[in-house]
Each structure stands twice: as C-alpha cells, then as structure tokens.
Amino acid sequence: MRETLLLVVFPVAVGVPAAIGLARLIRTLLFGVGVSEPIAVGSAMLVLAAIAMLARYLPARRASLVDPMIALRYE
C-alpha cells in the first residue's frame, strides 16, 4: 500500500500546481468553476486517490488469503 501511496502522492503534488499554473490555457473548459477552486481540485484529488488505493487493496487482500505453502508449491 505504501508503494501505491507514493505513486498517487507524487503525481498529485506535481499535477495540482501545474494545473493551477496552466489555468489560463484551460479556463474555457472550466464552466462555472474558478481557476483555483479548492473544492473542485480537492475533490478530484481525493476521488483519484481513493480509486488508486482501492485498486491496490483488493488484489493485495485477495493475495493475503492464499496459504503461503500452497503458493510456493504451485511455483
């Protein structure tokens, strides 16, 4: 889960300031939303982080239910 968190945090830390910095270019796409609307940016950031963590958690949980001896014998 730590690896997934790093894969989510780094792009967000780079992407959010870049999106705010390039807001002049995308201003026409943001209908009714301010350039640096904190609720919109925060909501998008939380949704993407939650989806990434869920995508990592489900296979990890399923793999943790397998008996290690059976997994080693299979290899």
Give the model confidence (pLDDT) of 46-72 as tens digits: 888 888 888 888 888 888 888 888 878
Q: Phi and psi for 26 in degrees, rounded to 5?
A: -105, 10
**pTM of the shown model:** 0.58
Over residues 23-32, the pLDDT tens digits come to: 767 777 766 6
DSSP assignment string, 2-38: HHHHHHHHHHHHHHHHHHHHTHHHHGGG-TT--TT-H
The predicted-structure confidence for 10-22, as pLDDT tens digits, reads as follows 888 888 788 777 7
**Average pLDDT of the residues of the chain:** 79
